[in-house]
Structure 1
């Protein structure tokens, strides 16, 4: 971009021939017209007094110069347009004209000319923050990090004091193109030195520097800056937000979030953001606790109930999940009715996936209507698991959005399959309309899922085989097919499919984990199984199921204390029934029978039908 296009400045000292002819033909050098003076001819008013004449600041020369410039640009002569605009900007010192000249150059991919326009603007108006900002943006676009420091310092100095904290907050993202991450961090640190101890900017400065150093690969330094910021201003959300970014590599950073949330004025939006972080880390009990606090603080806000219901169902707390979902429906239905009537808050709905947190009308990224669809689908699933098929169908009957037709039909198919009506279940999925290739894939996955849920492993494997032939580079389909191969004890096929997934997606932690766990479960190639699971944990640090797998392979290797440590860690993060079964067995083997019984009893209270749990209890002959 730094090299000017040959046509842009073909006549640096004068107007092009075409522009000169246009100027003459339009009478640029002739007398001023009434339009140029700001007057428009009109029929004389009959009786009313004439409106006062407002004279434009634009004279005839400027008017024609701008007109010809725009015409030249429209005709593809960007060079003449640029020269005319920049000449006009220099004569008038008009901000808009300087910006227009730079824009013309940028659109022509002539970075040097755009930079010249920004420099001319700064020379004409040295006190303009907009001019400094434009020059900085152009330098970043041109990948000229060595020249960024001066306009950056100027921009910070020229920005009004009330706006400076906001500018400082966005600097790390703004400067991402200013070289390697460490250079950006040093640049940011140098530019912000004058504002580090100013009361209004001392917290934003530390948060900005923390983000810059985090990006530079120094999370410990970032954590220290976040702690400094929180000590200076405990009620500021900035340190907590940075803490959430740091949590993955620096678990101690979570204390910043928790300390902030203890503040009486803690923002509900930040608590909801923390819930998302916990959910991503599969720390569902902790996420549930935060959502319960949120629903206590804002009992009439709908969105948290939807998330709470989903998590409770995931944790097998069916009664609590259904209660939260029913409360969501109660709150969301009036909002959905208003939305359907056209009375919903349009700017709010247009916000889409904004992360600003809960609001009375912002029940989901797609709005209350789609949130209701999700709630009814989950309520139907919960009723189905209780074998209350009539209630499940009643919930599904409430959904009439064609965008969710496949989800509804899949749920209906699952209900039929649980009643032994397999052929009807498969037909209801297959007969769903297809609007594109994505729908065809989704139907095959849905059919396989229905068969998997009723343990028709061979038929599910066959459907997934057809799907993988049609979508032969789809890693998700291959992974699901591998899981069915494992259920059928076709270990060679399972490994072949999982190795293919690893080829297609080398960062797919689940493929490494699945292969490693399957080997460990059968006490095969245990050192290799451990390596595979450790690789999975590197790709997905803290994942409780992968941690469980590593604990299980350590148990199979005879490393009982390490196995118990890992399984306790996994179970504390995610009290899943199968993790509980593994932990209970390790504790039982170690002679810690009371703790083993407690863990296994908790697991049975959540999901007594779980096969892994039942097999473990039978094998160990544990009396609960």
Structure 2
């Protein structure tokens, strides 16, 4: 019987509780051969019996199942009823065939018929009838781990979770001590899906009572206390769990979860890792805490230790790529993201989407002027990626082709992108204007953007881009009007305040107003290096060289951007440190020799580079 009607239960969780196997929802079905089994009752007897190979185990299971089946005579009447039910079911009717098979299961006591009735109800998407058939299947064959698995999976979200308590109690009682701890956590997670949360928690408390002196039971009690918002009790139970088993990572993580002081969390984790340096889950959590504290170098060291122990852990490789990017380590970021993509490529069953990493790798290749490599990374973005990522990939390809000098091909690629979404239509027009701008066709770009803002007047991003282009053409009145409209439409858009403030500072006009605008932007985004650059520049214009240097050094430390380097260099030049200024300008020239700010600054100051 090869029916592919899936009963979606609790994926690996339920399979772990009732079968010892971790199956995905797509893998769980009512079809013979697909069943996940419960580790053969997890009894002490299992530990003493010789281990069977897969074929022997399958044969033993089949024999056990057949031995449990009732001796039912297949009469001509019954055969006719079953055949009629099956033909009707295949012709699109479900209710009559379901009732026929269900009633036959009740009369004969044959669990196979109850299972078939359940398959019919699943195919018809009838949840209540499915549960009724699965309940009957389990009642007729309570020793079947498959029947138990599906019954638990469905009953846990029904209004009768009390039916599950005897099952859970038996499973816990018959489990070995080692296995029981895992089952306690799985029971807790299963009951977390129940509709009646209080009834589920009360049942959970009764189930764990006989094992309250185990580490796992204490952790479950801590989690129950946390659900009830009793953090003091949760902390006490987590500490008790650690006292029972000092090396238990889950107990330490539970204690960290209920510790509100982040500095205390850091101290807890550091102490634990000193005693148990191979505790990878705690180390990963510690690294994430360090990321939250913006201690990127320390977080990176922790993730590097994790990758040293687990070289193919894609989550840690991705984290290291992001951290390297944050730390302006382009080479490191490229190495980690490349490994991330390679490892995913070797594991086709891993469903993680590499698209974001591929887009970052494309950007990194572009930053070192490898446009061919940047396009090759885009070629690897999978077809099945989400629509927004696919759209972003298409726009990036357009940008790279245009940057390579083939503006006409880039515009043709842009014209091939079709969308009904107004926001994306606005992005397409902005992308076309950007192509023309980068090709130094500024008037054509201005015309495209002017048309775009008339078509989409309520799109702040479009208005912002139009403002920057207007400034490029010297239309400062248009720029200011557009930026003030952005502020009106999106008062929390710090880019608009920063752009107008910087423009005023750059033109050396209305400096106090410029300072106020940039201060407001910096209040909204205090870690933005470009706003720090603007603040440093307005201080420079106002003659505050010390403050200017402070902001610009901090900005350049966060992001090695050529324009920030040019500004910091000019401040140092005016302070008399000409060698440091020239060093910065050389760095900027190596990255972007055509940068407008760099060229005008060098032409004005005439350093001996």
| CA distances 1:13-58 after superposition (whole Å, capped 9, x unpaired) | xxxxxxxxxxxxxxxxxxxxx996156869xxxxxxxxxxxxxx99
Cα distance, 1:147–1:254 mapped onto 2, change above 3 Å: farther
Task: Identify the residue that residue 224 of structure 1 maps to in structure 2.
Answer: 267
Task: Identify the residue that residue 428 of structure 1 maps to in structure 2.
Answer: 412
**Secondary structure of the corresponding residue to residue 612 of structure 1:** helix
Task: Identify the residue that residue 538 of structure 2 maps to in structure 1.
Answer: 553
Partner Cα distance (2:133, 2:273) in 1: 52
Partner Cα distance (2:580, 2:539) in 1: 20
**8 A Cα contact 1:93 1:124, kept in partner:** no
Partner Cα distance (1:383, 1:617) in 2: 27
Task: Identify the residue that residue 482 of structure 1 maps to in structure 2.
Answer: 467
Partner Cα distance (1:615, 1:84) in 2: 78
Q: How does 1:83-232 map to 2 (within 5 A)?
A: 85=135, 92=142, 104=154, 113-119=159-165, 121-122=167-168, 127=173, 133-134=186-187, 137-139=190-192, 142=195, 144=197, 148=201, 151=204, 178=227, 183=229, 188-197=234-243, 201-210=247-256, 213=259, 218-232=261-275
| CA distances 1:346-395 after superposition (whole Å, capped 9, x unpaired) | 314xx232xxxxxxxxxx4499xx89x976995799367xxxxxx89998
Cα distance, 1:429–1:599 mapped onto 2, change above 3 Å: same
**8 A Cα contact 2:191 2:204, kept in partner:** no
Task: Identify the residue that residue 584 of structure 2 maps to in structure 1.
Answer: 599
> Which structure carries more helix by proportion?
2
Structure 1: segments with no counterpart, 5+ residues: 1-33, 43-56, 295-301, 307-331, 354-363, 385-390
Larger deviation, residues 566-575 vs 464-473: 464-473
Q: How does 1:357-396 map to 2 (within 5 A)?
A: 364-365=354-355, 382=369
Cα distance, 1:534–1:376 mapped onto 2, change above 3 Å: closer
Structure 2: segments with no counterpart, 5+ residues: 1-66, 76-104, 174-179, 384-389
Kindly tell me the number of residue pairs found equivalent between the two proteins. Answer: 495
Cα distance, 1:89–1:531 mapped onto 2, change above 3 Å: farther
Cα distance, 1:229–1:63 mapped onto 2, change above 3 Å: same
Structure 1-normalised TM-score? Answer: 0.60
| CA distances 1:210-266 after superposition (whole Å, capped 9, x unpaired) | 3555xx6x4333322332233223344445533443345524474254266368944
Distance apart, 1:176 and its partner CA: 13
Cα distance, 1:412–1:257 mapped onto 2, change above 3 Å: closer
Partner Cα distance (1:304, 1:80) in 2: 46
Cα distance, 1:345–1:522 mapped onto 2, change above 3 Å: same
Task: Identify the residue that residue 600 of structure 2 maps to in structure 1.
Answer: 615
| CA distances 1:400-432 after superposition (whole Å, capped 9, x unpaired) | 999877765654444456xxxx7x468635653
Task: Identify the residue that residue 347 of structure 1 maps to in structure 2.
Answer: 349
Partner Cα distance (2:297, 2:108) in 1: 65
Structure 2-normalised TM-score? Answer: 0.62
| CA distances 1:435-478 after superposition (whole Å, capped 9, x unpaired) | 65487555423311211213333322332333344455544333
The CA RMSD over aligned residues, in Å, is: 5.6
1:37 matches 2:37: no
Cα distance, 1:472–1:427 mapped onto 2, change above 3 Å: same
Cα distance, 1:445–1:92 mapped onto 2, change above 3 Å: same
Q: How does 1:124-523 map to 2 (within 5 A)?
A: 127=173, 133-134=186-187, 137-139=190-192, 142=195, 144=197, 148=201, 151=204, 178=227, 183=229, 188-197=234-243, 201-210=247-256, 213=259, 218-252=261-295, 254-258=297-301, 261=304, 265-268=308-311, 269=313, 272-278=317-323, 281=326, 283-285=327-329, 287-289=330-332, 303-304=338-339, 346-348=348-350, 351-353=351-353, 364-365=354-355, 382=369, 411-416=400-405, 424=408, 428-429=412-413, 431-432=415-416, 434=418, 437=421, 440-441=425-426, 443-501=428-486, 508-523=493-508
